[in-house]
Every structure is written in C-alpha cells, then in structure tokens.
Amino acid sequence: MTTVTLAQVAQQAGVSAATVSMVLRNRGRISQATRERVLKALDDSGYVYNQTAANLRNRSSNQVGLLLHDITNPFYGEMTAGLSHEMERHDLLLFLANSEESGERQQNFVDSLMRNSACGMVLCAARDTPPSFFEALKRRNIPAIMVVRPLNDPDFDFVGTDNFLGTQMATSHLLNMGHKNIAFIGGSPNSGSRSQRIGGFTSTLLEKGISPNSDWIVSTQASQLDGAKVAESLLTRYPEITAAVCYQDIVALGVMQALRKIGREPGRDFALVGFDDITEAALVQPALTTVSVAAKEIGRMAGELLYSRIRGNEEPPKRIILPPALVILESCGYSATPATGSAKQQKAVM
Amino acid sequence: MTTVTLAQVAQQAGVSAATVSMVLRNRGRISQATRERVLKALDDSGYVYNQTAANLRNRSSNQVGLLLHDITNPFYGEMTAGLSHEMERHDLLLFLANSEESGERQQNFVDSLMRNSACGMVLCAARDTPPSFFEALKRRNIPAIMVVRPLNDPDFDFVGTDNFLGTQMATSHLLNMGHKNIAFIGGSPNSGSRSQRIGGFTSTLLEKGISPNSDWIVSTQASQLDGAKVAESLLTRYPEITAAVCYQDIVALGVMQALRKIGREPGRDFALVGFDDITEAALVQPALTTVSVAAKEIGRMAGELLYSRIRGNEEPPKRIILPPALVILESCGYSATPATGSAKQQKAVM
DNA sequence: TTGTACGCGTTATCAA
DNA sequence: TTGATAACGCGTACAA
C-alpha cells in the first residue's frame, strides 16, 4: 500500500508534476494529447489526491465545522441534514461537534477547527457563552454563521426563524378561536429567543385590547417534565386560563400531561399551541398545533450563506430570518388537516 | 492576521524550531528552563498549531468520518451523539455525511475521506450497496467500523444490536400475555436486519409449538403510512390475529392507526410491540411497548473500537452485538412503568 | 510546459 | 544530556 504521488504519476506519463497538477484541476492550457496521457497515467496508477498537501500549500481547506449543543434533538437533526446537503453540493466536508452546552467543549472545537485551517463554521452557541468567545472568534477572521439562537452582535451573520412573528401567529389563532385568558408557558428567563416570542405574544394581545397578565407568563426548563410541573401549578392557581402559547413543543407536551392530571382535556377544554414543529407534535393525541420553523431550511440557508462568505462575499453581516408557519392540527379544538397527513411521520430506522 | 509559525516562535524564544516542536508535544528531553522560555514565547505570540503541516509530515490525521443514511432519524441522532462524545474524548474530529441512501454520495464521501487522509471511519452503508464498495474499502486499508445494518462480511468490524434476541423477547412477551395468533409486520424483503428479526420471531413461536403462518409475515416500507396501509389489509383479511411484532416503532405507529380505523383499540383489543425505542414510542397513546437498541451505546462502542484500531489494534475483526432490552409500556395491555417515566421525554429545542 | 522555491511541522543525525 | 541542522512529506504557483 505505497502512496502514489503526483511526481510518480508525472514520471509515468513522461511529463512534469506541474503538468499533472494542472490537468487535475483543469487549470492552464494543456494540449489534448498530453492531457489524455496524464489521465491515463492517473487511472493506471491508482493515484489518490493528497488534499492535505494542497491545503498546506494553499493555507486553506475545504472543511467547515458545525457546532450544536444537542444533536439528538430532532430539530437539530433536521437542520444538520439541510446543512450537510448544502455542503456536499459544494464539495465541502462537514465537521460535527456536540457541545452539550459546555463552553469548554465548544471552545475546544473551535480551537480544533483553527488548527485544522477550517474555512468556515456554523455555530449554535452554548447557553451562557461569554462575549469573549465571540470577540475571539472575530479576531480569527474566519467566516462564522450563527444559527437558531439569536445573538445580539451585529458583526455576525445569523440565520434563524422569526420568533416574534411565530408567536404572533400562534396568539392570533387562539384569539380567533375566542380565547381571552391565554398564558405563555416555557423558556428560560435569560433566553433571547424567549424574549422575542414573548414580544409577539404580548403585542398581539394588546392589539386586541387585552392586557397581558405577567402572572400568566411563566418559565420552565426545556423538558416535558418541568413543563408539566409548572403548568399544573399555574392552571390550578388560575383555572380561568383557557389557552396557552408554549415556548416549545416539548413543553406543550408536558402541559398536556398536566391538563389531564387536573381533569381537563386538551383540545376540548383547553387550547394549546406549541413551537418548533417537532415530529412528536403530529403523533400525540390530540395532535399539537404548532409553529413550524423549517429546521432543514435554516440549515440550507446557513450553508448557502457560509459558502458565499468562503468565496469571498464581503457584504455586511446579514440576518436571515425565515418565516414561520402555523401548522394547525387538533390541540386547539379544530382540525384543519388530519394528524395523519404530516410528512414528518414518514420516518424510520434502518 | 499574519500566521505565526513554529520558526517565529523559536526565534522569539532563542531556540530552534525543533525544540519548540518537542516542547509542544512533550517529546524528547528539554530542560526545564528552555521549556518555560518556549511556553512563554508560545503564549506571547498567539501561535496556532498547524495541524495540516503536521498531518502532511506524518502521513496521517486526527479526522474520522461518519456515514449515515438519515441523520434526521432520531435513532441515528442518538448514535451520532454517542460517537461524537467518544471522538472528542480522544481529540479526534468527526466528519459527518448523510448518504440519503445514495450509493454515489456514499462513494463520494469515502473518496473524500481518503483524499483528506482520514484515519478511520464508521459506516452505516446505504441500502443495496454493491459488494465492490466493500472490497474497495478493504484495499484502502483504513480502519472502518460498520454499524447497525448487519453486513455479511467477516472482514469488517461491526457494532449493532441483537436483532434475533430482540424479537425473541418481544415475541415471548406477547406469548406470555396469552396471544397465539401473532403477526410480524414491516421491513423490506432484502434487509438483513429483518431476516434476523424474523428469525427471532419464528423460533420463539416454534418453541411454544406454534407454527409461524407465512401469510402473517408481511413487509412494508419504512414509514408510518405504509405500515398503516399494509396492516389494514392484513387485519381485515385475518381478523383472528390479536397481536403483532413490528419491525420498527415507526411501523407500529402506523399499525395503531390502522387498528383504530377498523374499530379495534390498541392495547385493549390488540397487542403491539415495536422495535427501536424511538422517542415517539413513549409519547403515543397507548405508549408503545418496544425493543430498545441503545443507539447511543452503539455509537460509543463503535467509537471505542475505531479508536483502538487507529491505535494499531490488529486483532481479528469483531462483531459487537449489544443486548436489547424490552421496554414494557402500554400497547400490550399491561403497563409496568408509566409512560411519563421515560428519560427520553426530557428533550427540547433551543 | 517545466524547473523550482515554497507552505510548515517532524524526525533522524550530529555537535557541543 | 541538551539542542541545532537539514532533509522530508506533496501539491502549487511563478518565472523561465
């Protein structure tokens, strides 16, 4: 298993290494005759291009990084698929890392990318990432696209969803169904996404002349369990609440549990809207009406933008905010599309 | 943003580049005094190690590839998390690619890994991958671990689950609940996993003196929709069937739909066991009893094995078959653990 | 088309 | 014992 080098191929073809290199990359003007000789030699020798040598010479690479905090989350799985597809289209290799919300792992990954001369990265930063992280990143001068988690730093490109509009749509839907006492459940207090979603929620209420009740806006951890716990206490205390906009689908699922525990049936005695459009939303009963954020599209757009930056696009940083869509299923007591109609349900293992 | 090289650091510290290199990697014998001088110079200069140069010189790298066919599938998301975690522990970078069942994309990825001198790979090959693909891979002489999809090639390491034992457990459970007329639903006819699962199913029936009825063993596509369609036709034709082992959870969810459509309630009039233990299993009603295949653990084990191969482990190829576990929920009319108890439900977006 | 210097860290050899 | 020198890995780009 000896590695064949350009020079060896060149010798075999009776030309110089430079010529072979140009043939390989379709550069320069090579006569048809020699080109064919070279191609034959390449084929015969079983030559494997050494990208490492090329990268060293070019001080660059064709490798980009993707940092997530939880790849097991279906939302990020979708996003990764979108990004991966886009990267392959441009012959870029994708490094994946899972920070698991650890700032240290996150830093290690970025450092590692730098050592490997990655040509760009897509980041969904860990919670509570210090500003110093982003400052250091800017100094690196390497294209970096932020995704999903909004960042208050105008120097970075960002691709995400319109949290504000999303909850506006959700809230309007509930108002149109006749609800007036609506709660907002979920999210952690220091989340930027949450601020935006609450903004959409309260502004829509106010447009209809309803004053938001701050006691009815509660935060939870990002789990079904905590969603259930918090919702139970909220709804026991304020039985007059008849509907809720949830920060995430996962929290909405918890609220469903809580409702049943206190003897109220979601979709009949209580209306519920989630956010994210995860696969599970369409599977529970009643199927959860939710705001879809087009995870795959976020990945695709991030990839497209990153690629343009790598190509040298020097335009000012962009914020690409994808429009959300309200997926109306059953949890608000009204079924526009049957739960079995979702494309999301066509998944499988193996 | 000029790149600092080893030589520049060396000059700054008043030593040679060789010395700095040795300090960086803790090799050779360097006096404490010079070591400290070098470390200081490294720190002051903001030096970034050039892994590419090192890789070129060493004819190796610290990069491994992971090939999947569907990263959006929760099962593979879990597996990826397990592998990613293991890779980070060993300072290896993980390339991810999604073949989407395309042999061409798969080949492109592997070729790309070769050009980049990846030091190993983990593959869940696309369906209908030709033997030539695996033959070519062997000639490359690079550590490759196969996962999940069983491969009839003793030359490759394999990490997966015990499909045979898994359906044996599922089938036994149904038999113990008193069922005699049991169907097997799902899987595509040319799947190796499916053969193994059917083996576990029929052998368990035979042990109890029940002859498997081949009309009750049907294949479906890997989607909820097709599962529902096939199940409806099967159960209409053979109403005497009272239980089913499903090839996948996703198919089991489809069977549930079909049951309701023909007026039978899963968990009460019909017992159902799935396979995979995907998140959705615990969320549907009744919660689906399923065979858990420890996706994360498969990833972790594959990573561990791959790392040992990279380190030079020359033992004969291994087949690591992880034991499945029967997760008994509600779909067989018996609830040992409440559906809300699953750790799987603690997920969230953002 | 080709010769050749170059990108940068590594390691074997040699000097002190 | 400690550290320096120089050849080397392999593809690229510019001058000839």
Instruction: Tell me the per-residue pLDDT of A244-254, one tens digit each, with 9 for 90 and over.
Output: 999 999 899 99
Model confidence pLDDT, tens digit, residues A177-224: 999 999 999 999 988 899 999 999 999 999 999 999 999 999 999 888
Distance of CA A57 to the CA centre of its chain: 34
- Cα B161-B162-B164 angle, rounded to 5 deg: 145
Q: Is B347 in Cβ contact with A250 (below 8 Å)? A: yes
Q: Please determine, for residue B231, whether its predicted confidence score (pLDDT) is greater than 60.
A: yes
Phi/psi-derived region of residue A267, left when phi > 0, alpha when psi is between -120 and 50, beta in every other case: left
Using pLDDT thresholds of 50, 70 and 90, give the confidence band for residue A338. very low
Decide if A291 contacts A74 (C-beta within 8 A).
Answer: no
Residue A271 has which token pair? 């209306």
B31-35 average pLDDT score: 90
Distance CA B325, CA B292 (A): 5
Q: Which of A192-205 are b and which e, b meaning 16 or more Cβ less than 10 Å from the residue's Cβ?
A: ebbebbbebbbebb
Q: Phi, psi at residue A58, to the nearest 5°?
A: -85, -5
Phi/psi-derived region of residue A239, left when phi > 0, alpha when psi is between -120 and 50, beta in every other case: alpha
Distance CA B172, CA A84 (A): 42
Residue A275 has which token pair? 């956010």
Q: Is B248 in Cβ contact with A116 (below 8 Å)? A: no
Average model confidence (pLDDT) across chain B: 90
- Cα B294-B297-B299 angle, rounded to 5 deg: 115
Locate the chain A residue with the closest alpha carbon to B186.
A348
B270-299 average pLDDT score: 89
Q: Please determine, for residue A3, whether its predicted confidence score (pLDDT) is greater than 80.
A: yes
Using pLDDT thresholds of 50, 70 and 90, give the confidence band for residue A340. very low
DSSP for A292-306, please give it: E--HHHHHHHHHHHH
* Burial class of residue B140, CB neighbours in 10 A (0-12, 13-18, 19+): middle
Closest residue (CA) to C1' of nucleotide C1 is: A19
Tell me the C-alpha to C-alpha distance, in Å, between residue B174 and each of A331, B245, B268, B325, B332.
34, 8, 13, 15, 7
Q: Is A74 in Cβ contact with B72 (below 8 Å)? A: yes
Q: Please determine, for residue A337, whether its predicted confidence score (pLDDT) is greater than 50.
A: no
Strand (E) or helix (H) holding A34? helix A32-45
Tell me the C-alpha to C-alpha distance, in Å, between residue B242 and each of A147, A228, B51, B333.
49, 35, 61, 12
Q: What's the pLDDT at A341?
A: 32
Closest by Cβ to A52, choosing from B56, B112, B296? B56
Q: What's the pLDDT at B74?
A: 79
Q: Is A3 in Cβ contact with B59 (below 8 Å)? A: yes
Angle between helix axes B17-25 and B32-45 (nearest 10 degrees) is 90
Q: Please determine, for residue B38, whether its predicted confidence score (pLDDT) is greater than 80.
A: yes
Which is more confident, A73 or A231? A231
Bases of strand C lying below 7 A from some protein CB: 1-4, 6-12
Model confidence pLDDT, tens digit, residues B68-103: 999 988 789 999 999 999 999 999 999 999 999 999
Hey, which bits of A72-226 come out as E strands? 93-98, 120-123, 144-147, 157-161, 182-185, 217-218
| Residues of chain B contacting residue A72, judged by C-beta atoms under 8 Å apart | 74, 77-78, 80-81, 296, 347
Contacts of B93 (CB under 8 A, 6+ apart): A95, A97, A112, A116, B62, B63, B64, B87
Footprint of strand C on the protein (CB under 7 A): A 14-19, 22, 28-31, 33-34, 53, 56-57, 59; B 3, 5-7, 17-18, 21-22, 24-25, 27, 49-50, 53-54, 56-58
Distance CA A2, CA A10 (A): 16
Q: Please determine, for residue A350, whether its predicted confidence score (pLDDT) is greater than 60.
A: no
Q: What's the pLDDT at B113?
A: 97
Closest by Cβ to A74, choosing from B74, B141, B257? B74
Contacts of B21 (CB under 8 A, 6+ apart): B6, B27
Q: Are strands A289-292 and A325-327 parallel, antiparallel or unpaired?
A: antiparallel
Q: What's the pLDDT at B282?
A: 80
Angstroms from A209 CA to nearest CA on chain B: 31
| Residues of chain A contacting residue B63, judged by C-beta atoms under 8 Å apart | 95, 116
Model confidence pLDDT, tens digit, residues B166-185: 999 999 999 999 999 999 99
Q: Is B93 in Cβ contact with A112 (below 8 Å)? A: yes
Closest residue (CA) to C1' of nucleotide C10 is: B57
Collapsing DSSP states into helix, strand and coil, what is residue A161?
strand
d(CA A56, C1' C8) / Å: 8
Tell me the C-alpha to C-alpha distance, in Å, between residue A100 and each of A122, A251, B182, B297, B349.
16, 20, 42, 17, 13
Closest by Cβ to B96, choosing from A76, A84, A224? A84
| Residues of chain A contacting residue B282, judged by C-beta atoms under 8 Å apart | none
Bases of strand D lying below 7 A from some protein CB: 1-6, 8-14
Q: What's the pLDDT at B66?
A: 98
Closest by Cβ to B96, choosing from A50, A96, A228? A96
Closest residue (CA) to C1' of nucleotide D13 is: A18
Q: Please determine, for residue B152, whether its predicted confidence score (pLDDT) is greater than 90.
A: no
Distance CA A198, CA B111 (A): 48
Q: What's the pLDDT at A72?
A: 86
Torsion A294-A299-A300-A301 (CA) sign: positive
Model confidence pLDDT, tens digit, residues A68-127: 999 988 789 999 999 999 999 999 999 999 999 999 999 999 999 999 999 999 999 998
Angle between helix axes B224-237 and B249-261 (nearest 10 degrees) is 50
DSSP for B194-239, please give it: HHHHHHHHHHHHHHTTPPP-GGGEE---SSHHHHHHHHHHHHHH-T
